[in-house]
Chains A and B, each alone.
Chain A
Amino acid sequence: MTALLRVEGLSKSYGALRVTDGLSLSVEPGELHAVIGPNGAGKTTLIHQISGMTPPDAGRILFAGEDVTGRSMAGRALAGLARSFQITSILPRFSALQNVALAVQARSGSSFRFLSPVDGEAALTGPARDLLARFGLAERAEMPAGALSHGEKRQLELAIALATAPKLLLLDEPLAGTSHAESARIVEILRGLTGSVAILLVEHDMEAVFALADRVSVLVYGRVIATGAPEAIRSNPEVRAAYLGEEAA
Protein backbone atom coordinates (compact mmCIF):
# COMPACT_ATOMS: atom_id res chain seq x y z
CA MET A 1 0.00 0.00 0.00
CA THR A 2 2.94 2.32 -0.50
CA ALA A 3 2.06 3.17 -4.07
CA LEU A 4 2.23 6.91 -4.84
CA LEU A 5 -0.59 6.62 -7.33
CA ARG A 6 -3.24 3.97 -7.35
CA VAL A 7 -5.99 3.89 -9.94
CA GLU A 8 -8.82 1.47 -9.19
CA GLY A 9 -11.58 0.36 -11.53
CA LEU A 10 -11.53 3.54 -13.58
CA SER A 11 -14.22 3.74 -16.28
CA LYS A 12 -15.11 6.40 -18.81
CA SER A 13 -17.43 6.20 -21.81
CA TYR A 14 -18.12 8.64 -24.60
CA GLY A 15 -21.52 7.57 -25.80
CA ALA A 16 -21.30 3.88 -26.59
CA LEU A 17 -17.50 4.00 -26.71
CA ARG A 18 -15.83 2.68 -23.55
CA VAL A 19 -12.59 4.62 -23.58
CA THR A 20 -11.51 3.52 -20.11
CA ASP A 21 -12.83 0.13 -19.10
CA GLY A 22 -12.41 -0.80 -15.44
CA LEU A 23 -8.77 0.18 -15.53
CA SER A 24 -6.45 -0.31 -12.55
CA LEU A 25 -2.78 0.52 -12.27
CA SER A 26 -0.28 1.90 -9.80
CA VAL A 27 2.88 3.96 -9.77
CA GLU A 28 5.42 3.45 -6.98
CA PRO A 29 7.44 6.36 -5.56
CA GLY A 30 10.34 7.17 -7.88
CA GLU A 31 9.20 4.65 -10.46
CA LEU A 32 8.96 5.27 -14.20
CA HIS A 33 5.86 3.45 -15.34
CA ALA A 34 5.31 3.53 -19.09
CA VAL A 35 1.91 3.11 -20.69
CA ILE A 36 1.91 1.99 -24.29
CA GLY A 37 -0.90 1.09 -26.62
CA PRO A 38 -2.21 1.67 -30.13
CA ASN A 39 -3.79 4.94 -31.27
CA GLY A 40 -7.15 5.50 -29.66
CA ALA A 41 -6.48 3.01 -26.84
CA GLY A 42 -7.44 5.65 -24.28
CA LYS A 43 -4.01 6.72 -23.04
CA THR A 44 -4.66 10.45 -23.20
CA THR A 45 -8.10 10.00 -21.65
CA LEU A 46 -6.45 8.11 -18.79
CA ILE A 47 -4.05 11.00 -18.17
CA HIS A 48 -6.95 13.48 -18.34
CA GLN A 49 -8.72 11.55 -15.61
CA ILE A 50 -5.70 11.14 -13.36
CA SER A 51 -4.86 14.84 -13.66
CA GLY A 52 -8.43 15.93 -12.95
CA MET A 53 -9.24 17.42 -16.32
CA THR A 54 -11.91 14.82 -17.14
CA PRO A 55 -14.12 13.25 -14.45
CA PRO A 56 -14.32 9.44 -14.61
CA ASP A 57 -17.71 7.71 -14.70
CA ALA A 58 -16.61 5.24 -12.05
CA GLY A 59 -13.54 4.22 -10.11
CA ARG A 60 -11.12 5.84 -7.68
CA ILE A 61 -7.85 7.69 -7.92
CA LEU A 62 -5.62 7.62 -4.86
CA PHE A 63 -2.61 9.89 -4.76
CA ALA A 64 -0.09 9.93 -1.89
CA GLY A 65 -2.57 8.00 0.22
CA GLU A 66 -5.51 10.34 -0.38
CA ASP A 67 -8.57 9.87 -2.52
CA VAL A 68 -8.33 12.71 -5.05
CA THR A 69 -11.09 11.48 -7.38
CA GLY A 70 -13.29 14.50 -6.66
CA ARG A 71 -10.52 17.09 -6.55
CA SER A 72 -9.99 19.81 -9.16
CA MET A 73 -7.04 19.76 -11.51
CA ALA A 74 -5.54 22.76 -9.69
CA GLY A 75 -5.94 21.01 -6.35
CA ARG A 76 -4.17 17.92 -7.65
CA ALA A 77 -1.40 20.04 -9.15
CA LEU A 78 -0.78 21.68 -5.79
CA ALA A 79 -0.68 18.23 -4.17
CA GLY A 80 2.20 17.33 -6.50
CA LEU A 81 0.58 15.94 -9.63
CA ALA A 82 2.02 17.66 -12.71
CA ARG A 83 1.27 16.86 -16.33
CA SER A 84 2.26 17.63 -19.88
CA PHE A 85 -0.15 17.67 -22.79
CA GLN A 86 -0.02 15.64 -25.99
CA ILE A 87 -0.90 18.84 -27.84
CA THR A 88 1.55 21.42 -26.55
CA SER A 89 -0.07 23.70 -24.00
CA ILE A 90 1.96 26.78 -23.12
CA LEU A 91 1.38 30.52 -22.82
CA PRO A 92 2.49 31.68 -26.28
CA ARG A 93 2.53 35.41 -25.48
CA PHE A 94 4.65 35.01 -22.35
CA SER A 95 8.39 34.60 -22.64
CA ALA A 96 9.82 31.13 -22.09
CA LEU A 97 11.15 32.35 -18.76
CA GLN A 98 7.78 33.76 -17.69
CA ASN A 99 6.12 30.45 -18.58
CA VAL A 100 8.39 28.55 -16.24
CA ALA A 101 8.50 31.24 -13.54
CA LEU A 102 4.71 31.20 -13.38
CA ALA A 103 4.79 27.48 -12.61
CA VAL A 104 7.34 28.14 -9.85
CA GLN A 105 5.04 30.90 -8.56
CA ALA A 106 2.14 28.47 -8.27
CA ARG A 107 3.96 26.62 -5.51
CA SER A 108 5.75 29.48 -3.73
CA GLY A 109 3.51 31.64 -1.60
CA SER A 110 0.37 33.55 -2.38
CA SER A 111 -0.28 34.89 -5.84
CA PHE A 112 -2.59 37.54 -4.42
CA ARG A 113 0.21 40.08 -4.45
CA PHE A 114 -0.72 43.13 -6.41
CA LEU A 115 2.03 45.71 -6.23
CA SER A 116 5.54 44.29 -6.55
CA PRO A 117 6.80 43.44 -10.03
CA VAL A 118 6.88 39.68 -10.56
CA ASP A 119 9.67 39.81 -13.14
CA GLY A 120 11.96 41.12 -10.40
CA GLU A 121 11.43 38.15 -8.09
CA ALA A 122 14.67 36.21 -8.11
CA ALA A 123 13.03 33.44 -6.10
CA LEU A 124 10.93 32.72 -9.19
CA THR A 125 13.21 33.59 -12.08
CA GLY A 126 16.25 31.86 -10.55
CA PRO A 127 14.82 28.33 -10.51
CA ALA A 128 13.10 29.03 -13.83
CA ARG A 129 16.40 29.94 -15.50
CA ASP A 130 18.04 26.82 -14.09
CA LEU A 131 15.32 24.65 -15.55
CA LEU A 132 15.52 26.33 -18.95
CA ALA A 133 19.27 25.78 -18.94
CA ARG A 134 18.76 22.08 -18.23
CA PHE A 135 16.68 21.85 -21.39
CA GLY A 136 19.20 23.87 -23.37
CA LEU A 137 16.79 26.78 -23.63
CA ALA A 138 18.84 29.37 -21.71
CA GLU A 139 19.32 31.48 -24.82
CA ARG A 140 15.61 31.39 -25.55
CA ALA A 141 14.58 32.63 -22.10
CA GLU A 142 13.40 36.07 -23.20
CA MET A 143 11.73 34.92 -26.41
CA PRO A 144 7.94 34.71 -26.62
CA ALA A 145 7.14 31.03 -26.10
CA GLY A 146 4.99 31.07 -29.22
CA ALA A 147 8.05 31.85 -31.34
CA LEU A 148 9.99 28.75 -30.25
CA SER A 149 10.39 25.77 -32.57
CA HIS A 150 8.07 22.82 -32.10
CA GLY A 151 10.72 20.75 -30.34
CA GLU A 152 11.65 23.65 -28.08
CA LYS A 153 8.01 24.08 -27.11
CA ARG A 154 7.83 20.41 -26.16
CA GLN A 155 10.85 20.89 -23.90
CA LEU A 156 9.43 24.10 -22.48
CA GLU A 157 6.29 22.22 -21.56
CA LEU A 158 8.38 19.69 -19.65
CA ALA A 159 10.25 22.48 -17.90
CA ILE A 160 6.90 23.99 -16.84
CA ALA A 161 5.74 20.65 -15.43
CA LEU A 162 9.00 20.17 -13.53
CA ALA A 163 8.88 23.74 -12.19
CA THR A 164 5.90 22.81 -10.03
CA ALA A 165 8.21 20.45 -8.09
CA PRO A 166 5.92 17.47 -8.61
CA LYS A 167 5.89 14.11 -6.85
CA LEU A 168 4.42 12.50 -9.95
CA LEU A 169 4.77 13.58 -13.57
CA LEU A 170 2.13 12.52 -16.08
CA LEU A 171 3.71 12.79 -19.51
CA ASP A 172 1.67 12.43 -22.68
CA GLU A 173 4.04 11.66 -25.55
CA PRO A 174 6.79 14.09 -24.58
CA LEU A 175 8.98 12.91 -27.46
CA ALA A 176 6.45 13.34 -30.25
CA GLY A 177 7.69 15.85 -32.80
CA THR A 178 11.11 16.41 -31.27
CA SER A 179 14.38 16.13 -33.18
CA HIS A 180 16.84 13.34 -32.54
CA ALA A 181 19.05 15.52 -30.36
CA GLU A 182 16.10 16.96 -28.45
CA SER A 183 14.64 13.56 -27.86
CA ALA A 184 18.00 12.28 -26.59
CA ARG A 185 18.20 15.21 -24.18
CA ILE A 186 14.67 14.62 -22.89
CA VAL A 187 15.41 10.92 -22.34
CA GLU A 188 18.54 11.92 -20.45
CA ILE A 189 16.59 14.34 -18.23
CA LEU A 190 13.88 11.77 -17.53
CA ARG A 191 16.54 9.24 -16.62
CA GLY A 192 17.99 11.78 -14.19
CA LEU A 193 14.61 12.11 -12.51
CA THR A 194 14.04 8.42 -11.87
CA GLY A 195 14.34 7.63 -8.20
CA SER A 196 13.29 11.13 -7.10
CA VAL A 197 10.22 11.91 -9.21
CA ALA A 198 7.74 9.21 -10.18
CA ILE A 199 6.68 9.30 -13.82
CA LEU A 200 3.73 7.90 -15.72
CA LEU A 201 4.95 8.01 -19.29
CA VAL A 202 2.73 7.62 -22.33
CA GLU A 203 5.00 7.28 -25.33
CA HIS A 204 5.06 5.73 -28.78
CA ASP A 205 8.86 5.74 -29.07
CA MET A 206 9.53 2.12 -28.05
CA GLU A 207 13.26 2.54 -27.89
CA ALA A 208 12.87 5.27 -25.28
CA VAL A 209 10.16 3.36 -23.41
CA PHE A 210 12.20 0.19 -23.07
CA ALA A 211 15.33 2.14 -22.15
CA LEU A 212 13.63 4.15 -19.40
CA ALA A 213 10.77 2.19 -17.91
CA ASP A 214 10.87 0.25 -14.66
CA ARG A 215 7.49 -1.20 -15.59
CA VAL A 216 5.40 -1.15 -18.72
CA SER A 217 1.62 -1.43 -18.99
CA VAL A 218 -0.07 -2.18 -22.27
CA LEU A 219 -3.39 -0.47 -22.84
CA VAL A 220 -5.80 -1.76 -25.49
CA TYR A 221 -9.41 -0.61 -25.78
CA GLY A 222 -9.29 1.09 -22.41
CA ARG A 223 -8.04 -1.97 -20.59
CA VAL A 224 -4.60 -2.96 -19.28
CA ILE A 225 -3.86 -6.26 -20.99
CA ALA A 226 -0.43 -6.70 -19.42
CA THR A 227 1.86 -5.07 -16.86
CA GLY A 228 5.41 -6.03 -16.12
CA ALA A 229 9.11 -5.45 -16.52
CA PRO A 230 10.11 -4.25 -20.02
CA GLU A 231 11.65 -7.62 -20.89
CA ALA A 232 8.55 -9.54 -19.89
CA ILE A 233 6.34 -7.19 -21.91
CA ARG A 234 8.55 -7.43 -24.96
CA SER A 235 8.23 -11.20 -25.02
CA ASN A 236 4.56 -11.40 -24.00
CA PRO A 237 2.76 -13.11 -26.92
CA GLU A 238 -0.55 -11.36 -26.22
CA VAL A 239 1.14 -7.98 -26.33
CA ARG A 240 3.00 -8.84 -29.49
CA ALA A 241 -0.24 -9.81 -31.13
CA ALA A 242 -2.18 -6.80 -29.97
CA TYR A 243 0.36 -4.08 -30.33
CA LEU A 244 3.99 -4.83 -31.00
CA GLY A 245 3.06 -7.24 -33.77
CA GLU A 246 3.56 -4.86 -36.63
CA GLU A 247 6.95 -3.73 -35.33
CA ALA A 248 8.16 -7.23 -34.54
CA ALA A 249 7.17 -8.47 -37.96
Chain B
Amino acid sequence: MARRLRREWLPLGLFLALALVPVLAPLGPQSFILSLMTRIVVVALAALSLDLLIGKGGLVSFGHAACLGIGAYAVGILSAEGVTDGGAHLAVAIAAAAFFALATGAVAMRTDGVHFIMITLAFGQMLYFLATALSAYGGDDGITLPGRSTVLGRDVLASDTVLYLAALGALLAAYLLLRRIAASRFGRVLEGARDNPVRMEAIGFRPFRFRLAAYLISAMIAAVAGVLLANQTGFVSPATMAWQRSGELIFIVVLGGLGSLHGAILGAIAFILAEELLSHWSEHWRIVFGPLLILAVLFARGGLAGLLTKGARP
Protein backbone atom coordinates (compact mmCIF):
# COMPACT_ATOMS: atom_id res chain seq x y z
CA MET B 1 0.00 0.00 0.00
CA ALA B 2 2.73 2.43 0.97
CA ARG B 3 4.70 1.40 -2.07
CA ARG B 4 1.74 1.84 -4.28
CA LEU B 5 1.14 5.29 -2.81
CA ARG B 6 4.74 6.20 -3.53
CA ARG B 7 4.41 5.12 -7.11
CA GLU B 8 1.00 6.64 -7.68
CA TRP B 9 1.26 9.87 -5.75
CA LEU B 10 1.33 12.02 -8.86
CA PRO B 11 -1.96 10.91 -10.47
CA LEU B 12 -3.59 10.74 -7.03
CA GLY B 13 -2.40 14.23 -6.20
CA LEU B 14 -3.51 15.57 -9.57
CA PHE B 15 -7.05 14.27 -9.28
CA LEU B 16 -7.26 15.33 -5.63
CA ALA B 17 -6.22 18.87 -6.55
CA LEU B 18 -8.69 18.95 -9.43
CA ALA B 19 -11.46 17.69 -7.12
CA LEU B 20 -10.77 20.54 -4.70
CA VAL B 21 -11.27 23.21 -7.37
CA PRO B 22 -15.03 23.67 -6.85
CA VAL B 23 -14.42 23.99 -3.09
CA LEU B 24 -11.67 26.58 -3.45
CA ALA B 25 -13.08 28.50 -6.44
CA PRO B 26 -15.46 30.65 -4.35
CA LEU B 27 -12.40 32.13 -2.60
CA GLY B 28 -11.43 33.87 -5.85
CA PRO B 29 -13.13 35.01 -9.05
CA GLN B 30 -15.31 31.90 -9.08
CA SER B 31 -16.70 31.84 -12.60
CA PHE B 32 -13.32 32.71 -14.13
CA ILE B 33 -11.60 29.96 -12.17
CA LEU B 34 -14.25 27.39 -13.01
CA SER B 35 -14.26 28.22 -16.69
CA LEU B 36 -10.45 28.14 -16.87
CA MET B 37 -10.28 24.87 -14.97
CA THR B 38 -13.03 23.31 -17.08
CA ARG B 39 -11.03 24.19 -20.16
CA ILE B 40 -7.95 22.60 -18.61
CA VAL B 41 -9.80 19.40 -17.75
CA VAL B 42 -11.36 19.17 -21.21
CA VAL B 43 -8.02 19.70 -22.97
CA ALA B 44 -6.48 17.18 -20.57
CA LEU B 45 -9.12 14.66 -21.67
CA ALA B 46 -8.27 15.24 -25.35
CA ALA B 47 -4.52 15.04 -24.62
CA LEU B 48 -5.04 11.86 -22.59
CA SER B 49 -6.75 10.20 -25.54
CA LEU B 50 -3.90 11.32 -27.79
CA ASP B 51 -1.36 9.80 -25.39
CA LEU B 52 -2.86 6.38 -26.13
CA LEU B 53 -1.85 6.94 -29.75
CA ILE B 54 1.48 8.72 -29.37
CA GLY B 55 2.74 7.40 -26.07
CA LYS B 56 1.48 3.82 -26.20
CA GLY B 57 1.18 3.30 -29.93
CA GLY B 58 3.99 5.48 -31.27
CA LEU B 59 1.44 6.96 -33.67
CA VAL B 60 1.95 10.71 -33.91
CA SER B 61 -1.46 11.87 -35.10
CA PHE B 62 -1.43 15.47 -36.26
CA GLY B 63 -5.18 15.54 -36.76
CA HIS B 64 -6.49 14.88 -33.30
CA ALA B 65 -8.30 18.23 -33.03
CA ALA B 66 -10.62 16.95 -35.77
CA CYS B 67 -12.13 14.52 -33.27
CA LEU B 68 -12.51 17.34 -30.76
CA GLY B 69 -14.26 19.31 -33.51
CA ILE B 70 -16.57 16.41 -34.33
CA GLY B 71 -17.73 16.38 -30.70
CA ALA B 72 -18.19 20.17 -30.63
CA TYR B 73 -20.11 20.20 -33.92
CA ALA B 74 -22.36 17.38 -32.74
CA VAL B 75 -23.49 19.72 -29.96
CA GLY B 76 -23.62 22.76 -32.26
CA ILE B 77 -25.58 21.19 -35.08
CA LEU B 78 -27.98 19.21 -32.90
CA SER B 79 -28.65 22.25 -30.67
CA ALA B 80 -29.27 24.41 -33.72
CA GLU B 81 -31.79 21.80 -34.86
CA GLY B 82 -33.52 21.91 -31.51
CA VAL B 83 -32.06 18.73 -30.00
CA THR B 84 -30.58 19.82 -26.67
CA ASP B 85 -30.30 16.42 -24.99
CA GLY B 86 -26.74 15.74 -23.81
CA GLY B 87 -27.19 11.99 -24.24
CA ALA B 88 -28.03 12.53 -27.91
CA HIS B 89 -25.07 14.90 -28.26
CA LEU B 90 -22.71 12.31 -26.81
CA ALA B 91 -24.13 9.45 -28.85
CA VAL B 92 -23.89 11.33 -32.13
CA ALA B 93 -20.44 12.71 -31.29
CA ILE B 94 -19.05 9.26 -30.44
CA ALA B 95 -20.65 7.59 -33.44
CA ALA B 96 -19.41 10.26 -35.84
CA ALA B 97 -15.90 10.14 -34.39
CA ALA B 98 -15.88 6.36 -34.67
CA PHE B 99 -16.89 6.60 -38.30
CA PHE B 100 -14.22 9.22 -38.97
CA ALA B 101 -11.56 7.15 -37.21
CA LEU B 102 -12.38 3.95 -39.08
CA ALA B 103 -12.56 5.66 -42.46
CA THR B 104 -9.37 7.71 -42.11
CA GLY B 105 -7.56 5.17 -39.95
CA ALA B 106 -7.99 2.42 -42.53
CA VAL B 107 -5.83 4.56 -44.80
CA ALA B 108 -3.54 6.31 -42.32
CA MET B 109 -2.57 3.13 -40.43
CA ARG B 110 -1.03 1.72 -43.60
CA THR B 111 1.62 4.43 -43.47
CA ASP B 112 4.19 5.23 -40.82
CA GLY B 113 6.62 7.84 -39.62
CA VAL B 114 6.39 11.19 -41.36
CA HIS B 115 3.78 9.88 -43.77
CA PHE B 116 1.47 9.07 -40.93
CA ILE B 117 1.89 12.56 -39.50
CA MET B 118 1.17 14.14 -42.87
CA ILE B 119 -1.83 12.00 -43.69
CA THR B 120 -3.51 12.57 -40.32
CA LEU B 121 -2.85 16.29 -40.78
CA ALA B 122 -4.46 16.11 -44.21
CA PHE B 123 -7.56 14.35 -42.91
CA GLY B 124 -7.80 16.89 -40.09
CA GLN B 125 -7.59 19.76 -42.56
CA MET B 126 -10.23 18.14 -44.74
CA LEU B 127 -12.64 18.22 -41.84
CA TYR B 128 -11.61 21.78 -41.00
CA PHE B 129 -12.46 22.97 -44.50
CA LEU B 130 -15.66 20.97 -44.46
CA ALA B 131 -16.68 22.89 -41.32
CA THR B 132 -15.85 26.26 -42.86
CA ALA B 133 -18.10 25.28 -45.77
CA LEU B 134 -21.06 24.50 -43.51
CA SER B 135 -22.81 27.79 -44.23
CA ALA B 136 -26.02 26.56 -42.61
CA TYR B 137 -24.07 26.35 -39.34
CA GLY B 138 -22.12 29.59 -39.48
CA GLY B 139 -19.38 28.56 -41.89
CA ASP B 140 -16.16 30.30 -40.90
CA ASP B 141 -17.81 32.15 -38.05
CA GLY B 142 -19.27 29.13 -36.34
CA ILE B 143 -22.39 29.06 -34.22
CA THR B 144 -23.27 30.32 -30.77
CA LEU B 145 -25.12 27.67 -28.77
CA PRO B 146 -28.59 28.53 -27.48
CA GLY B 147 -27.61 26.92 -24.17
CA ARG B 148 -25.77 23.99 -22.65
CA SER B 149 -26.71 20.37 -23.23
CA THR B 150 -29.60 19.21 -21.09
CA VAL B 151 -29.72 16.04 -19.02
CA LEU B 152 -33.08 14.22 -19.07
CA GLY B 153 -34.70 17.49 -20.04
CA ARG B 154 -33.18 19.38 -17.14
CA ASP B 155 -30.69 22.19 -17.37
CA VAL B 156 -28.28 20.85 -14.75
CA LEU B 157 -25.14 21.72 -16.74
CA ALA B 158 -26.11 25.40 -16.61
CA SER B 159 -24.22 25.48 -13.31
CA ASP B 160 -20.49 26.02 -13.92
CA THR B 161 -19.69 23.77 -10.98
CA VAL B 162 -21.78 20.92 -12.34
CA LEU B 163 -20.23 21.28 -15.80
CA TYR B 164 -16.77 21.24 -14.24
CA LEU B 165 -17.59 18.13 -12.21
CA ALA B 166 -19.00 16.42 -15.29
CA ALA B 167 -15.77 17.14 -17.17
CA LEU B 168 -13.66 15.94 -14.26
CA GLY B 169 -15.77 12.78 -14.02
CA ALA B 170 -15.18 12.11 -17.72
CA LEU B 171 -11.45 12.68 -17.28
CA LEU B 172 -11.24 10.30 -14.33
CA ALA B 173 -13.28 7.64 -16.13
CA ALA B 174 -11.13 7.92 -19.27
CA TYR B 175 -7.93 7.83 -17.23
CA LEU B 176 -8.93 4.68 -15.38
CA LEU B 177 -10.15 3.05 -18.59
CA LEU B 178 -6.96 3.83 -20.51
CA ARG B 179 -4.81 2.56 -17.66
CA ARG B 180 -6.61 -0.75 -17.78
CA ILE B 181 -6.33 -0.89 -21.53
CA ALA B 182 -2.61 -0.14 -21.36
CA ALA B 183 -2.05 -3.08 -19.01
CA SER B 184 -4.20 -5.50 -21.01
CA ARG B 185 -3.34 -7.96 -23.77
CA PHE B 186 -4.35 -5.34 -26.27
CA GLY B 187 -2.16 -2.67 -24.67
CA ARG B 188 0.82 -4.99 -24.63
CA VAL B 189 0.51 -5.63 -28.36
CA LEU B 190 0.06 -1.91 -29.07
CA GLU B 191 3.25 -1.05 -27.18
CA GLY B 192 5.12 -3.93 -28.75
CA ALA B 193 4.18 -2.68 -32.21
CA ARG B 194 5.43 0.77 -31.23
CA ASP B 195 8.84 -0.57 -30.18
CA ASN B 196 9.46 -3.24 -32.81
CA PRO B 197 6.76 -3.91 -35.41
CA VAL B 198 8.89 -6.44 -37.30
CA ARG B 199 9.36 -8.54 -34.18
CA MET B 200 5.60 -8.39 -33.57
CA GLU B 201 4.85 -9.63 -37.08
CA ALA B 202 7.42 -12.37 -36.67
CA ILE B 203 5.51 -13.77 -33.69
CA GLY B 204 2.17 -13.50 -35.46
CA PHE B 205 0.66 -10.08 -34.74
CA ARG B 206 -0.59 -7.68 -37.40
CA PRO B 207 0.03 -4.23 -35.94
CA PHE B 208 -2.53 -2.63 -38.29
CA ARG B 209 -5.57 -4.02 -36.48
CA PHE B 210 -4.37 -3.02 -33.06
CA ARG B 211 -3.40 0.46 -34.17
CA LEU B 212 -6.74 0.98 -35.85
CA ALA B 213 -8.55 -0.09 -32.67
CA ALA B 214 -6.43 2.33 -30.61
CA TYR B 215 -7.24 5.10 -33.09
CA LEU B 216 -10.93 4.32 -32.71
CA ILE B 217 -10.84 4.40 -28.90
CA SER B 218 -8.81 7.57 -28.91
CA ALA B 219 -11.14 9.35 -31.35
CA MET B 220 -14.23 8.47 -29.35
CA ILE B 221 -12.74 9.84 -26.13
CA ALA B 222 -11.64 13.03 -27.92
CA ALA B 223 -15.20 13.44 -29.22
CA VAL B 224 -16.48 13.39 -25.62
CA ALA B 225 -13.95 16.13 -24.87
CA GLY B 226 -15.38 18.04 -27.85
CA VAL B 227 -18.91 17.81 -26.44
CA LEU B 228 -17.67 19.20 -23.12
CA LEU B 229 -15.62 21.90 -24.85
CA ALA B 230 -18.66 23.18 -26.77
CA ASN B 231 -20.58 23.36 -23.51
CA GLN B 232 -17.76 25.24 -21.82
CA THR B 233 -17.26 27.84 -24.55
CA GLY B 234 -20.93 28.07 -25.58
CA PHE B 235 -19.67 28.42 -29.09
CA VAL B 236 -18.59 26.12 -31.91
CA SER B 237 -16.40 27.08 -34.85
CA PRO B 238 -13.92 25.52 -37.30
CA ALA B 239 -11.10 27.01 -35.21
CA THR B 240 -11.62 24.11 -32.77
CA MET B 241 -10.15 21.75 -35.35
CA ALA B 242 -7.47 23.96 -36.84
CA TRP B 243 -4.14 22.20 -37.24
CA GLN B 244 -2.65 24.48 -34.59
CA ARG B 245 -4.99 22.87 -32.03
CA SER B 246 -3.71 19.43 -33.08
CA GLY B 247 -0.14 20.69 -32.69
CA GLU B 248 -0.89 22.00 -29.22
CA LEU B 249 -2.29 18.65 -28.18
CA ILE B 250 0.87 16.88 -29.36
CA PHE B 251 2.89 19.44 -27.49
CA ILE B 252 0.92 18.94 -24.29
CA VAL B 253 1.42 15.18 -24.44
CA VAL B 254 5.18 15.52 -24.99
CA LEU B 255 5.52 18.22 -22.35
CA GLY B 256 3.65 16.12 -19.78
CA GLY B 257 5.58 12.92 -20.48
CA LEU B 258 4.79 10.47 -23.26
CA GLY B 259 2.98 7.28 -22.43
CA SER B 260 2.42 7.93 -18.74
CA LEU B 261 -1.25 8.97 -19.21
CA HIS B 262 -1.27 11.23 -16.13
CA GLY B 263 1.50 13.19 -17.88
CA ALA B 264 -1.08 14.36 -20.43
CA ILE B 265 -3.14 15.84 -17.59
CA LEU B 266 -0.09 17.50 -16.09
CA GLY B 267 0.88 18.83 -19.51
CA ALA B 268 -2.56 20.34 -20.07
CA ILE B 269 -2.48 22.08 -16.69
CA ALA B 270 1.02 23.47 -17.27
CA PHE B 271 0.35 24.50 -20.86
CA ILE B 272 -2.91 26.33 -20.30
CA LEU B 273 -1.84 27.96 -17.03
CA ALA B 274 1.38 29.20 -18.65
CA GLU B 275 -0.56 30.48 -21.65
CA GLU B 276 -3.04 32.23 -19.35
CA LEU B 277 -0.41 33.82 -17.11
CA LEU B 278 1.83 34.97 -19.95
CA SER B 279 -1.03 36.40 -21.99
CA HIS B 280 -2.02 38.55 -19.00
CA TRP B 281 1.53 39.68 -18.55
CA SER B 282 2.23 40.91 -22.08
CA GLU B 283 0.55 40.91 -25.46
CA HIS B 284 3.77 39.59 -26.97
CA TRP B 285 3.57 36.55 -24.72
CA ARG B 286 4.05 34.12 -27.57
CA ILE B 287 7.65 35.32 -27.96
CA VAL B 288 8.34 34.01 -24.46
CA PHE B 289 6.00 31.04 -24.58
CA GLY B 290 7.67 29.35 -27.55
CA PRO B 291 11.21 29.24 -26.15
CA LEU B 292 9.84 28.27 -22.73
CA LEU B 293 8.14 25.24 -24.24
CA ILE B 294 11.27 24.26 -26.12
CA LEU B 295 13.33 24.49 -22.95
CA ALA B 296 10.80 22.42 -21.05
CA VAL B 297 10.92 19.65 -23.64
CA LEU B 298 14.73 19.75 -23.87
CA PHE B 299 15.41 19.66 -20.16
CA ALA B 300 12.53 17.55 -18.93
CA ARG B 301 13.14 14.25 -20.70
CA GLY B 302 10.23 12.04 -19.84
CA GLY B 303 8.28 15.26 -19.54
CA LEU B 304 7.02 16.96 -16.42
CA ALA B 305 5.73 13.62 -15.13
CA GLY B 306 9.22 12.14 -15.50
CA LEU B 307 10.75 15.13 -13.75
CA LEU B 308 8.40 14.86 -10.78
CA THR B 309 8.65 11.12 -10.30
CA LYS B 310 12.41 10.86 -10.75
CA GLY B 311 13.87 8.43 -8.24
CA ALA B 312 10.44 7.07 -7.37
CA ARG B 313 10.69 4.29 -9.93
CA PRO B 314 9.83 0.93 -8.42
Tell me which residues across on chain B come within 8 A of A20, comparing CB atoms.
none
Tell me which residues across on chain B come within 8 A of A115, comparing CB atoms.
180-181, 184
Tell me which residues across on chain B come within 8 A of A112, comparing CB atoms.
185-186, 209, 213
Verify A82–B184 contact, CB threshold 8 A.
no
Tell me which residues across on chain A come within 8 A of B203, comparing CB atoms.
77, 82, 102-103, 106, 160-161, 163-164
What's the Cα separation between A115 and B200 when bound, in Å? Answer: 21
Say whether B198 faces chain A, with CB atoms less than 8 Å apart. Answer: yes
Interface residues of B toward A: which range?
Answer: 20 to 34
**Nearest chain B residue, comparing its CB with the CB of A88:** B199
Tell me which residues across on chain B come within 8 A of A53, comparing CB atoms.
198, 201-202
Say whether B256 faces chain A, with CB atoms less than 8 Å apart. Answer: no
Verify B204–A78 contact, CB threshold 8 A.
yes
CB-contacts of A71-91 with B (<8 A)? 72-74, 77-78, 82-83, 85, 89-91
Say whether B285 faces chain A, with CB atoms less than 8 Å apart. Answer: no
Tell me which residues across on chain A come within 8 A of B183, comparing CB atoms.
117-119
Say whether A92 faces chain B, with CB atoms less than 8 Å apart. Answer: yes
Tell me which residues across on chain B come within 8 A of A72, comparing CB atoms.
201, 206
Binds A, one of B98-106, B113-121, B188-196, B269-277: B188-196
**Nearest chain A residue, comparing its CB with the CB of B184:** A114
Instruction: Please report whether the interface of chain B is mostly helix, strand, loop or mixed according to DSSP.
Output: helix
Interface residues of A toward B: which range?
Answer: 35 or more
* Known contacts A72-B201, A89-B198, A112-B213; A118 and B184 CB within 8 A of each other: yes
Question: Interface 1/0s, chain B 202-231, versus A by CB < 8 A?
Answer: 111110011001000000000000000000
- Report B15 CB to chain A, min CB distance, Å: 21
Verify B188–A74 contact, CB threshold 8 A.
no
- Report A123 CB to chain B, min CB distance, Å: 11
Which of A74, A110, A114, A163 touches B201 (beta carbons < 8 Å)? A74
* Known contacts A94-B195, A111-B210; A89 and B202 CB within 8 A of each other: yes
What's the Cα separation between A105 and B50 when bound, in Å? Answer: 26
Verify A94–B205 contact, CB threshold 8 A.
no
Say whether A116 faces chain B, with CB atoms less than 8 Å apart. Answer: yes
Say whether B303 faces chain A, with CB atoms less than 8 Å apart. Answer: no
Verify B188–A116 contact, CB threshold 8 A.
no
Which residues of chain B have a CB within 8 Å of any CB of chain A? 180-181, 183-189, 191-192, 195-196, 198-206, 209-210, 213
Which residues of chain A have a CB within 8 Å of any CB of chain B? 51, 53, 72-74, 77-78, 82-83, 85, 89-94, 98, 102-103, 105-107, 110-119, 121, 160-161, 163-164
The 6 closest A-B pairs by CB, nearest first: A77-B204, A106-B204, A78-B204, A73-B201, A113-B185, A103-B203
